[in-house]
Amino acid sequence: MSAAAIEQPFDDEPFSLTAIAEEIMERHPGYRVEIIGGHLLVTPSPDAPHARALTGLMIPFIAAGLHGEETEVLQNVGLWLPTGAEDYAIPDLAIVGADIDDHLVENNAYDPVCFRLVLEVTSSNWKDDLKTKAVAYAQAKVPVYVVVDRRHQRVHVLTDPNGETYEHHRPYSPGETATLPDSIGAEVTLDVDQILKAAQKKTD
């Protein structure tokens, strides 16, 4: 999802990025605000193709039995990050352990130990999903990170987090299928053509 970075103000008064994030969301209903690496990422409401792609992506996960007693398929749930005292992200889609309610940290964000997979669908600022969030999710040790890159028409699958990076990064092109690791709890194969088509704006 697209985002615009907002730098911290420099003054002598103590301030809370969380308080600033809450104020932005109050003034701009529908906007998503995340704190990653001590910076605010402000994201406008998604467009219809973005939402359509997410709905389509939920289908293979649910069909594989991942929304049940052991795991759940959730949209827009907060993930607490180890990158800063107030850092958290809100991935577009996630596969989480069914006991996620027991792992609330604060500010509606949950311990990354609950997350088996996170997924983002890019918008205008695609670099945040491919770079900034890739680092943050790797540092949080999220096992699998999937990016639907609408700008470059690719689906990226990143696995095996190690420090600030993922050991394996495989981009898939139209015409290919992406089989995700069994570590998410089931075997799931994504049809790249189908995903990218859903994520495109409809034309007359």
Q: What is the pLDDT of residues 65-95, one digit of tens each?
A: 999 999 999 999 999 999 888 899 999 999 9
pLDDT tens-digit readout, 88-143: 999 999 999 999 999 999 888 999 999 999 999 997 777 889 999 999 999 999 99
Instruction: In whole angstroms, give the CA distance from residue 51 to residue 44.
Output: 13
pLDDT at 2: 44
Instruction: Kindly tell me if the per-residue pLDDT of 6 is higher than 50.
Output: no
Q: Which two tokens stand for residue 142?
A: 């999220």
Please list the alpha-helical segments (H only) found in the chain.
17-27, 48-63, 126-127, 133-139, 192-198
Q: What is the pTM of this model?
A: 0.87
pLDDT at 115: 98
